[in-house]
Structure 1
């Protein structure tokens, strides 16, 4: 019901503007989420979302939960999804090992319909790069994934992560180049999709040396990933949410505006 009320209010606002101005208004940035309501976060992606490389397979998800605790949001937050991994209190997700972006797209509408998230965290593309997909193909696949999510629920907030370039073999080195080329497109793709989409700049916080096997982060890498997600998630929970976060795990602080763009 809160989602329906929000949508009706938005439609009413647009109707009033059209009546007064007689033309289509500019799209305004969405307001912060109402944290008095129960918050549902859906993480979708590949084995990095699942937490491979972390001894407990909690990945970034357990660390992200700690930031929700810090702002008093934990008891009204659910990580949602059909898969369960890790020892943390919010182990649900949709991180599918080996999946490409187009495979995520095929299931995205169903996940959004089933779990009704307020926020979707998206990190995909590493497997596309490892399988030799061109950066152009990867970009088109990301456009399709965002369209599937936003067509199913235009009110949802989406945070898309860039890719941490793999390393350690000829295949991974090629994937590293493709990942960098893909990363260069992500902001434009997000901007074109909706003002409700922002970009989490993992590459500003997680160097490739923190990939335990050349693909998946180790626990330090996952902790840093959670911090980047939070730099995007905190401000959309409350207008001042970013000022009430926990410990910054980065050895050198990086401005929030460089970790989260859009």
Structure 2
């Protein structure tokens, strides 16, 4: 058997083992584990919606999200200087600050990053800019994202819009995807958490203050955060390099390199080595075509407009190659 054929069979066998092929239109991703891997540091950043106003125990979405991640087998650590939350929440660390605006977060975030060194940020901010000034602040949001990435270039940032209260927040919601789209086009690991997709019922999900979610609403919010983040966290659990796109990310997964063109095409994730991480990333896009929102051009190695086994085969020639 030739060396290339041996590599192909090695790659093909690995693809079948990881179970990342699309079946019945639903992509399933492997939960990769490593006994040597450190917990993923997750920093929830935001305003009162992150701190927990409306919830008598001040747990926000974090209480239920903690359970979701544990049930999924994710080794993680919430980090931050605020410890609001119920005693039943084992990890209450966060950077949720009631009433805070984007500029206030920007004034503090460098110190938070230096102190806690997060790998992932759950960013839910901008509502108070609107409430306090009557104007939305998408430019401030864009600058905040850039500020964070300047400090930590490889960090993953999930940016959330809001549930539809107050009514005026819908304008800000419409501006957020454009901000995220711009960051993704620049090759930054920024994702969309579409809180506005919540099946929001005012009579059952809103607290008595008429502005914040109650416990039931935060449970719904936690599920949205979970759905948006889980594929990325599962990839990070086994290897911090590959990044799988959540289903509601507005566009393709960015690479971790400043350039949008990698020197070696088979190095799909831009980590300067061609290995199983690249296979996993391609397999996560199986059956995607150009007309679909989850089509990722860098995963279509042969440029035939569809991501399938043919692209995986092309990796075999450089498997375990580094540069």
Per-residue displacement from partner, 1:15-52 (whole Å, max 9, x unpaired)? xxxxxxxxxxxxxxxxx997532110000101110011
* Residues 58 and 240 of structure 1, relative CA distance in 2, 3 Å threshold: same
- Aligned-residue offset at 1:206: 4.8
Matched, 1:217 2:210: no
2:177 corresponding residue in structure 1: 187
Note if contact 1:206-1:225 (Cα within 8 Å) is conserved in structure 2.
no
Question: How far apart, in 2, do the equivalents of 1:118 and 1:102 lie?
Answer: 22
- Aligned-residue offset at 1:62: 1.1
Matched, 1:130 2:123: no
Question: How far apart, in 2, do the equivalents of 1:239 and 1:151 lie?
Answer: 23
Specify every segment of 5 or more residues in structure 2 that has no aligned partner in the other structure, as ranges: 1-29, 238-245, 252-323
Note if contact 1:200-1:261 (Cα within 8 Å) is conserved in structure 2.
no
* Residues 35 and 206 of structure 1, relative CA distance in 2, 3 Å threshold: farther
Note if contact 1:34-1:237 (Cα within 8 Å) is conserved in structure 2.
no
Question: How far apart, in 2, do the equivalents of 1:121 and 1:164 lie?
Answer: 16
The TM-score, its normalising length taken from structure 1, stands at 0.72
Question: How far apart, in 1, do the equivalents of 2:77 and 2:211 lie?
Answer: 28
1:66 corresponding residue in structure 2: 67
Number of paired residues?
203
Root-mean-square deviation (Å): 2.2
1:20 corresponding residue in structure 2: none
Per-residue displacement from partner, 1:61-109 (whole Å, max 9, x unpaired)? 0100111111212xx3110000101121110101111101111111112
Based on CA coordinates, which of the two structures has the bigger radius of gyration? Answer: 2
1:100 corresponding residue in structure 2: 101
- Aligned-residue offset at 1:211: 2.4
Relative to structure 2, which stretch is displaced further, 88-97 or 200-209?
200-209
The secondary structure found in structure 2 opposite 1:90 is coil
Question: How far apart, in 2, do the equivalents of 1:110 and 1:33 lie?
Answer: 32
Specify every segment of 5 or more residues in structure 1 that has no aligned partner in the other structure, as ranges: 1-31, 168-175, 242-255
The TM-score, its normalising length taken from structure 2, stands at 0.59
Note if contact 1:166-1:211 (Cα within 8 Å) is conserved in structure 2.
no
The 5 Å alignment of 1:19-58 reads 36=34, 37=37, 38-58=39-59
